[in-house]
Structure formats: C-alpha cells, structure tokens
Chains A and B, each alone.
Chain A
Amino acid sequence: MATRLFLVVLAVCAFSLPTFGSDCTEKKFKSGTVCVCDVTKCDEIPNIDLTSGQAATFTTANSGARLHRDIVYATDSDPSRSNSCDYYFIIIFATVTCLHLTIDTSKTYQTIQGFGSTFSDASGANLRSLPDKLADTVIRQYFSESGLNLQFGRVPIASNDFSSRVYTYNDVADDYSMTHFSLQREDYQWKIPYMQMAQKYNHNLKFFGVPWSAPGWLKTTNSTSGYGSLLGSSQGTYHKAYVTYLLKFFDEYQKNGIDFWAMSTQNEPTSGGDKKTKAQSMLFTAETQRDFIKLDLGPALRTSSAAKAVKVLIMDDNRGNLPKWADTVLKDTETASYVAGIGLHSYQDSESDKHLQQTHDNHPKYFIFGTEASEGYKSKDSVDYGSWDRAEDYVEDILDDLNNWVAGWTERNLILDAQGGPSWVSDFADAPIIAFPALAQFYKQPMFYAIAHFSHFIKPGAVRIDHSLNVPNLDIQKSAFLNPDGSKVVVILNKNVLAPYSVSVKDSQRSSDHYQVHMGPRSIVTLYIQN
C-alpha cells in the first residue's frame, strides 16, 4: 500500500512539473519554446549512464521538458494486476489511461542505418555567419555521439533551391568532355569545411550526393532552373557528358579528402515534369531513370576510381510513386545490379503505408531510405519558433517510416536563418536549428529534440522489432528497436493535448520485467533499456 502511494506521488510529480532539460536556456514564443545556445553554453543530452538491466526514460514535452532523464526500475508484477494503475485513474484528474505495450525481440524487421541532415548551401552560409566556435557547436550537436549522432550527410551536387544563386559545375555550353568543370566557392566555403568538421565528430559519416539539375545546356529547356529533362537518349552525347560531370564531382571532392558512400540519381525527378517548378529540377520517369542507370551511370561508376564504391539510390521522391517506380527500375535485372536502395521524401507521409510495404515485399533486398524531410515549406510561418506541432509531425513522420521498412531519415537543412533561408527562389522552410548571428546565438527548435529521440538512442545496425499495444489508441504512436549491443529502444509519442498516459512496457522475451512509462500530454518519451 505504501509503495502504491509512493508511486502515485511520483506519477503526480511527473505529470505536473514541467521540467526543462536541465540545461535548456529557454525562450518562449507563441507556438512554444526554443532552447538558446551561444558561444558559452548549449544544452546537451544527459548521459544514458545505466548499468546492465537498468532503464531510463528521456522525456520531451510541449510543457517544457527537453530530453529530461529519469531512471525507471523494472517491476516484477504487471501494474495492471496490482491495481496501481487504477490508483492513478482515481487520483490524477480522473483521466490517466493505462496501456500495455509489448515488445518482441524475436520478431525483427529492417536494419536501421541511421539518421542524417543536408549540407545545403543555406546551411553552410548560416554556419559561416556564426562565430567559428559556435558553428562548431552546431556541428557537434548534430554529429557527435553525445549529440544527435547523425550518420548521414546529404550533399547537393551544385546548386538547389536552398542556394543563393543558380549555378552548376560547368556552364560552358557544349563542353562535353567537362574540361571546364570546377567546384564553386559554395563548395569551398559552405560545404567542404563543415563536412570535414562533421567527420571529426563522426569518423564513419556517410555522404550521399544528389543533383537537382544537370547544367542547363544539357537540358531540353536550356535552363538549370525550372522543368526539363536531359537532352538526347541513353549513351548519347548529352547523357555521356552528364555522367562525366557526375564522376568529376566525386573526383574533385576526393581531392579534398571527402569520399562518398552513395549518390541519388536525381532529386525529386517528378518535379522536372511540372511546368510550375521554379527551382532547379530535371525530369526522369522510372523508365528513363532505369535506362540512364543501366546504360550510362551504372557502368561509368564502376570504371571510376573515385566513385567505384559509390552506391546508387533511385527515385528520391515521395512515396506515392511507389511501388511502381521501384518495380520499373528493379525488375530490370541489369539495372538492379547497379542499385542499392530507394530514396524517399516525406511530403506524402499521410498517404497509405502500403506504398512502402509493397515496395519492401516486392524488393526485400533493397533498402528504403528517407532522403529528405522538412517542415514549414509553403507555410505562412516558414520558421515557427518553438512549434510543438512540427516536432510532433516529425516524430509521426519518422515513426511511420520506420514502422514501414524505412532504414533511415534525412533532414533538409542543418541550419537556416530567421526567414527560413537563404533560398534564391524563396522556397523558405523551417529547420531544427535557426541561426541568430546578431547575438551570436542559435535556437534549437523542438524538431531538433524530435530527431534526438530516435537518432541519439537507435544505433546504426539496430533492427526494428515487433511492438503492440493491448488496445488500439489514436493518441499514442510508437516503435521499438534492438541495438547491436542488445539494448532496447522504445519511442512513444502522446499527441493528446490534455490526457496523460501510463504505459507499461513489457518485453515478451523477458516477461518478468515491466517498465512503467508516464507520459504527460503532448510529449515524446524514449525508453532505453540497457542490456
């Protein structure tokens, strides 16, 4: 009885005290709270610091907590049987609901490769607008193991919508042998220095290059920006020239000590067929992409010294194109031999999961990888300071992807300015970090912590495992993972704006242990169970 009362008190405290992640220097806005970092101080994720068999919850909530750590002790008995759950029900607002979440490490799904962000020109420009030491803090917060532990860096090949101008690496028309190919000041000032800095924090960082458009003179429209496709046909002059262009990119980056893990054939190839597109784009259909890989790109990569190990990703577009796109490209066995995975954007994540499930069923040997996600695009407030809605969207987005065979997830920009740019085409968006050079500060948006709830805890090589709730619940979304070292990670989102939940997590392979997770309204919890 005394224990029960004690638990009740604990629970009341957990629900009623909005605890800020120990270190967050908070700044409040209409939509929520950001954490402010400057040259002297930036909040860190508390160490996991557990011994074998222990567990901890890390909580982030709209009410203020940012990765707030609490030790959780396993209990022998199921709390539902001991009735303590009913106790919460009586004492706290009469609204606490008890749920049972069972994870099963014997049922494993895809291997998680990791999370990433994009070395866009806009990110580099903003990093450069901050004092060097503060730019280093941004990179450390993202790429060090104590931070977001990002494993992937997406690198635009030449300019994109988040550049300040339209450029390619060779704008000299008809230079088919690419003798005038040259990296630009954007590469030297905004990309390479920060990619190298990130490598210092993660020696295994994997880069993947992505072109938004070929040089205009290789396109049907003679323009790098706007819609249009590559001139000619496979193995023709234009296609060969473009492949030479792509290979030169890897050569030049290798000269700067940077090797690439993969490349995407084309960012959002369907945008290139949209006459309203203003940003850099280039049309591939699944058929032309298949032929381009088979006849041009694939064979050329194998003969290149800098790029022979570079994996090829296809599609790099929204899920609505699946599984048809993958079927078209991968059912061609010769093409399929050049391909490693399928790139996926998150802008149609409200569409059916079947797009992903069927893709995996049809092509189980090809990984599906989230290559771009962002919030605030085309919204009235490109940057919405402290927005919890956007953090929630991110968590839902990642959960939905990871529960449907996706192996990783990539943010669109590391850091943007207060306008959500720069972007030459005014394609402004939000980002997990916003730069404020005037005061030598940056703001960490709730989205930053949304990613942290996954990326800091789920290690590369982890596998997604089975998880199920005792009753269906629309407020609660979740997923579960088994790390290579045997630790388990459960990420749970409570979307309800008023109701707290008490979730009892049980490992079906260790049915003696139950972990009680208390979730306030509008909160994200990562339960980390040490092996």
Chain B
Amino acid sequence: MKSRFRTIFSFIFFIIFCLGRSQTFHKKILSNRAHFLAANADDCTSKSFKDGTVCVCSLDYCDEIPALDITMGQAAVYMSSHAGARMHRDVIYATDAEPFGTLHLTIDSSKMYQTIQGFGSTFSDASGANLRSLPDKLADTVIRQYFSESGLNLQFGRVPIASSDFSGRVYSYNDVSDDYMMQNFNLTKEDFQWKIPYIQAAKKYNQNLKLFGAPWSAPGWMKTTKAMSGPGALSGKAGDNYHKAYTTYFVRFLEEYAKSGISFWALSTQNQPTLGSDKKNKIQSTLFTAETQRDFIKSDLGPALKGSNVGKDVKVLIMDDNRGNLPKWADTVLNDRDAAPFVAGIGVHSYQDSESDKHLDETHKNHPNFFILGTEASEGGGAKDVSVDYGSWDRAEDTVSDILDDLNNWVVGWTERNLILDAQGGPSWVSDFADAPIIAFPALAQFYKQPMFYAIAHFSHFIKPGAVRIDHSLNVIELEVESSAFLNPDGSKVIVMVNKGSLVATEHTVVVQDTADNRNHYQFKLPHRSITTLYIQTSNF
C-alpha cells in the first residue's frame, strides 16, 4: 500500500517535473525573444558602441524607469543587460508550489543587518561645468534623472570644499597668507555658477537631500609645502594657529552656503588623507594620519562645529579613503573617548574593493555604532584605462559588484564621483580623467546615459532610505552570480542580482523564496550579462 502510494506519488512528481521542464523550456524560448525585443522596445534611444550601448537624451526625450505599478502581493522584475535592455519591467506572480529553478535564493527578513541610508553623487566643479554647457532644460533633466523619486532617487550630495582634481583650476576659499581669522574667505565663481544652482535644483526634486562637504586640501599657506596641490600636511599641530584657522575655514564654508539656503548634513574631515603623503601625488591633498585626524577632530574641528550655530548639527565623517586602511584607522580615531563623540561615521572609497571584506566586517564589529558610508567611487580613472568607455557593460558590472560587496559588508550608502563629465572624462585641471554615469554632448544638446547609470538605478531607485539589508543565501555557489536583499520601511522587499556570465548558456532561472512566507515563490530569468532587481510589494497575510 505504502509502496504503491510512493509509486503513484513518484509518478505524479515525475509528470509535474516534466511539465515543469517543458514549460520552462518553452518559457525560455519566449523569454529569449522577450529579451531580444526588450533590447529594442525599451524607451532607451540607444546608440551602439564597440563596448556596448548608451541611451541618448535630448531636450525632447529621455528614457525613464517604468513605474512599479503593482498591487499588494505582486512582484516586478527590472532587467538591464549587455544585450541592450534598460530597466525592462515584467510583472511576475507568486506561485504556491516551488517552480523549477537553476538557482534558488532564500531571503530571510528575520535576520537583519545595517540600515541603508541611500545613494549619492558629487557636485564637483566638473559636473557643474558640464551641466552649464547644456541648455538649462537639459541640465534640469540630468538633475531630475538623478534626484527625483522616479529617477535614481539619490539621497546624498557630496560637495568638494573648494577645488579638487575635477576642477578647472586650483583654488581655495582664502589664498591670503596668514589670514588666520579668515577675513578674506570667499566662495568662488565655481560655487555660484557650478555648484549652488545645481544643488538647489536637486533639492527641488528631493527635499530631504543630505549634503556632505569634503575638502581636498587646506589653503596652501596653511600647509607644510605652501601649495594646495601635491603632498603635504597642515603646518603645526592640533590646537595651534593653523589648525584653528582651518576649522574656522570649515565653519565659514558652512556659513556662506547657508546664505544660499543650503545646509549640510555632514562633513568629511579630509578626502583621501593618505594621498597627502604620496610624493607622486599631483592633485590637491592634505595629509592626515589616523592619529593627526583624531587629534584634529578632538581639539579643533569637533569643538568648533559644536560651538557654531551653523555647524552644531553637522555630523563628522572620518577617513574618507580606501578600505585597506580599516579597521586600524577607525580603531585609532574611535577608541579615543574624546574624539569618538564628535564622529558619526566612516567614509570609504571603492578603489580597493577587491581587497578582503574583513576590512569592513572588523570595522563594523569594533565600532557597531558608527555607520560606514561609501563616499567615492568611479570607473575609468586608471592611467591605462580609456577614461570614457561608451556603453561599457564591464563598468556597469564593476559598479554593481562594487555596490553589492559594500552593502553585503555593512556599508550604508554609496556615492558616485561625478554627476556628469565631458567626452574626455573631465574637465580636470590635472588630467585625472574618469568615466561617469552621464556624459555631456553640448554640441548636439544631448547627454548619454552609460550602463553605469542603470547599474546604480538597480539599487537606488528601489531601496528606500531606512531599508535594512536582510539575509540571503543561494542554494549553490555560482561565482558569476552576485546578490543582495533588502527590506524597505514599507515592508516591500528588494533583491538585486547580477549575472556576469558571458555565454548565453549561463542564463539562470532564479527562484526566490522568502522564509517568512513559505507559500510564495518568485521565478524569473537572469540572462547572461544582466542585472535584475526583484521588487516584492508588501503582502499582508
């Protein structure tokens, strides 16, 4: 009896299995066709290059992310691919029975990690110069694409304090030597023409936009080298004239921006402080070691901000440099009981993301009350790289890997190095050219959205500020697939997956199961060289 039951059961299971297979096979053909169509049918006005495809935007037209437009319990997948799909949306329905899948991803919202604060980009001089080279309406489109909720929904704006490598020239806000009181402090035309107008435009699209300032260098006369560019540290030591003058310089910066109605959420103590000791370094920099940064914050910057009207609520970020410096840098600064109360978080750059995740894990373990925020990332900055690589899918993949690796290791946000660059990857007075998610083409009043733009969108558009990263695990180890999962404050869930497989045959059928909701399974295709975001609307049962 029992065995007969088993035979019948096996037979039924076999039939279901076969049906499942054939259905999957059938779907595979359909879905391949869908992907092919997606390449052409999306709203992207595509232009093809050797390394991939960009989307062209003009005064008349710019592609938008399709609205979610799903009801409770439904889910949608958004897929972008090397083949040309850009945020291609498909509604999917949960199934009771577990469908066939080549990959099974289990998410567990009972296991929660860090809270995601959001994503951002940088109001560099280069970005402003390029925005200004476009017709006003098109510059507004760029800002809307980045900062509106229907676009990348960026939450952060990094603002260089005076000039950086992505400026047209080297300048500080006070080049008058020995003016310790900062009586000659002045914002420059770069602030008034290239930064403030676009920060204000971004605030119109996101009223909660959080700005953080970051200096590349103190005025040259305060430095050991008497030059803003190149290596060098602040002259003297914590608590002296130079250090007090420099904190006044920070406060004056906040005051001047406040006059334009712009207040800051945070300040980074120094962009890449380790650059300041590199004798080959040509760009603006100021050396801090973890020790001198600790002392500067403790004796000068922290108390000065707390004592100022404009700075009392401004958070302080430390490090703002690559992960290799962690956890040592954070330990040195934050183990000091007098320095730590002034600090809110740790800034991290992405240029050593291939190094071990332990740098981040240990930092979080040692300092769980301090957030780690990605403050700078870019592609194409290497001396041997093509600065702007039109349509590069490799760079979109790198960007996704980079963000996933950070978010899976306690990082709460991620910031791009420039909003928009020109076709050379600048301007940069020091020829530190790089790629950017948007490239300006003023001659035709156009801009190109690189695949990197969509790479960021796959996270930033869906993961809302306040979301938490939740546990996720794949049933098999698949080196070409990377993923992460998040629970939004409204209960919706977001899964981001990338398939870096270069062969068509590496397409996966992914089945997502939520441990909190055993009845529902979500099945979708993850084609080769593609990024998919699965968005599961809040369900109430």
Contacts and interface: CB of A to CB of B under 8 A. Distances in A.
A122 B441 CA distance: 12
A27 B431 contact: yes
A470 to B, nearest CB: 44
Nearest to B384: A30
B427 A436 contact: yes
Interface string B423-460: 11011000100000000111110000000000000000
Interface in A422-443: 422, 426, 435-439
A129 B440 CA distance: 11
A32 B47 CA distance: 31
A122 B444 CA distance: 9
Nearest to B445: A129
B202 interface: no
A73 interface: no
B441 A419 contact: yes
Contacts of A128: 443
B129 interface: yes
Summarize A's interface: helix, strand, loop or mixed: mixed
Contacts of B424: 383, 385, 418, 436
Nearest to B440: A438
A377 interface: no
Contacts of A417: 423, 441-443
B444 to A, nearest CB: 5
A125 interface: yes
Contacts of B126: 438
Summarize B's interface: helix, strand, loop or mixed: mixed
A122 B443 contact: yes
B444 A426 contact: no
A125 B133 contact: no
Interface in A12-33: 27-29
B129 A439 contact: yes
B441 A422 contact: yes
Interface string B209-247: 000000000000000000000000000000000000000
B24 to A, nearest CB: 39
Interface residues of A, number: 22
Nearest to B439: A419
B168 interface: yes
A425 to B, nearest CB: 10
A281 interface: no
B133 A437 contact: yes
A435 B443 contact: yes
A418 B422 contact: yes
Interface in A32-61: none
Contacts of A27: 431
B36 interface: no
Nearest to A420: B423
Interface in B387-434: 388, 390, 422-424, 426-427, 431
Given A417-B443, A422-B443, A438 B130 contact: yes
A164 interface: yes
Interface residues of B, number: 22
A337 to B, nearest CB: 43
Most chain A beta carbons < 10 A, residue from B47, B129, B427, B441: B441
A360 to B, nearest CB: 40
B132 interface: yes
B444 A438 contact: no
Most chain B beta carbons < 10 A, residue from A27, A28, A435, A438: A438
Interface string A379-392: 00001010000000
B49 interface: yes
Most chain A beta carbons < 10 A, residue from B47, B132, B424, B440: B424
A225 to B, nearest CB: 15
A270 interface: no
Given A418-B422, A426-B47, A439 B443 contact: no
Contacts of B441: 417, 419, 422
A254 to B, nearest CB: 28
Nearest to A30: B383
Nearest to A124: B443
A129 B426 CA distance: 16
A383 B168 CA distance: 20
Most chain A beta carbons < 10 A, residue from B168, B427, B441, B443: B443
Contact of B442 (A28, A122, A129): A129
Interface in A395-452: 417-419, 421-422, 426, 435-439
B240 to A, nearest CB: 38
A126 B130 contact: no
A129 B442 CA distance: 6
B423 A419 contact: yes
A437 B130 CA distance: 8
Contacts of B423: 417-419
Given A27-B431, A417-B423, A438 B129 contact: yes
Contacts of B427: 436, 438-439
A242 B191 CA distance: 56
B431 A437 contact: no
Contacts of B133: 129, 437-438
A422 B431 contact: no
Contacts of A438: 126, 129-130, 132-133, 422, 426-427, 440, 442
Contacts of B388: 419
B283 to A, nearest CB: 15
Interface string B362-402: 00000000000000000000000000101000000000000
Nearest to B134: A437
B129 A164 contact: no
A85 to B, nearest CB: 41
Contacts of A418: 422-424
Contacts of A419: 388, 390, 423, 441
Contacts of B49: 426
B443 A129 contact: yes
A436 B126 CA distance: 12
B14 to A, nearest CB: 54
Nearest to A440: B133
A125 B423 CA distance: 15
A92 B48 CA distance: 54
A435 B133 CA distance: 11
A360 B334 CA distance: 83
A116 to B, nearest CB: 22
A191 B247 CA distance: 54
A23 B168 CA distance: 20
A351 to B, nearest CB: 28
A422 B439 CA distance: 13
A126 B132 contact: no
Contacts of A385: 424
Interface string B44-68: 0001110000000000000000000
Contacts of B130: 438
B417 to A, nearest CB: 16
B442 A437 contact: yes
A164 B431 CA distance: 28
Given A417-B442, A419-B423, A426-B49, 5 more contacts: A126-B443, A417-B423, A417-B441, A419-B441, A438-B126
Interface of B: 47-49, 126, 129-130, 132-133, 168, 388, 390, 422-424, 426-427, 431, 440-444
11 contacts: A125-B443, A164-B444, A417-B423, A419-B388, A419-B390, A419-B423, A426-B47, A426-B48, A426-B49, A438-B126, A438-B427
Which 9 A-B pairs have CB atoms at the shortest separation, nearest pair first?
Answer: A418-B423, A418-B424, A438-B129, A419-B423, A125-B443, A437-B133, A129-B442, A437-B442, A129-B443
